Amino acid sequence: MSETIVVIEDDHQIRRVVEGYLRQAGYRVLSATDGTTGLALVQQEKPDLLVLDLMLPGLSGWEICRRLRASQDPQLAQLYILMLTARVDETDRVVGLELGADDYVIKPFSPRELVARVRAALRRLHAARELGDVRPLEAGDLRLDPIYRTVTLAGRPIDLTATEFELLHHLMRYPGRPFTRAELLDATQDDGLGDVAYERTIDVHIKNIRRKLGDSPRNSRYIETVHGVGYRFVPQPSRSEAPDSP
Rounded Cα gap, residues 81 and 18, in angstroms: 15
The parent domain of residue 9 ranges over 4-129
Ranges assigned E (strand) in the chain: 4-8, 28-32, 49-53, 80-86, 103-107, 137-139, 142-145, 150-153, 156-157, 179-180, 223-226, 230-233
Phi–psi pair at 83, nearest 5 degrees? -85, 150
Q: Are 40 and 25 in a shared domain?
A: yes
Domain boundary (129, 149, 180) is at 129
pLDDT, tens only, 159-208: 888 889 989 999 998 899 999 998 898 877 644 444 555 667 889 999 99
Domain boundary (94, 129, 164) is at 129
* Closest listed residue to residue 96, CA positions, set 201, 22, 17, 3: 201
Q: Are 146 and 79 in a shared domain?
A: no
Q: Are 13 and 121 in a shared domain?
A: yes
Q: Is residue 239 part of a domain?
A: no
Q: Is residue 95 part of a domain?
A: yes
pLDDT, tens only, 18-32: 999 999 999 999 999
Domain boundary (77, 105, 129) is at 129
Domain count across the chain: 2
Question: Rounded to two decimals, what is the model's pTM?
Answer: 0.65
Which residues, listed in sequence order, are joined to residue 153 by a DSSP beta bridge? 142, 156
* Closest listed residue to residue 73, CA positions, set 32, 123, 39, 31: 39
* Closest listed residue to residue 82, CA positions, set 61, 67, 59: 61
Rounded Cα gap, residues 56 and 180, in angstroms: 35
Q: What is the pLDDT of residue 16?
A: 95
Residue 57: asked if its preceding bond is cis (omega within 30°), the reply is: no
Q: Are 188 and 224 in a shared domain?
A: yes
Q: What is the pLDDT of residue 195?
A: 53
Per residue of the chain (246 residues), what is the pLDDT tens digit?
579 999 999 999 999 999 999 999 999 999 999 999 999 999 999 999 999 998 899 999 989 999 998 888 878 888 899 988 876 666 777 777 877 888 888 888 889 989 988 988 888 777 665 555 567 888 988 989 886 678 999 888 898 888 899 899 999 988 999 999 988 988 776 444 445 556 678 899 999 999 999 987 778 889 999 998 999 999 876 554 444 434
Q: Are 96 and 166 in a shared domain?
A: no
Q: What is the pLDDT of residue 101?
A: 85
Q: Are 165 and 147 in a shared domain?
A: yes
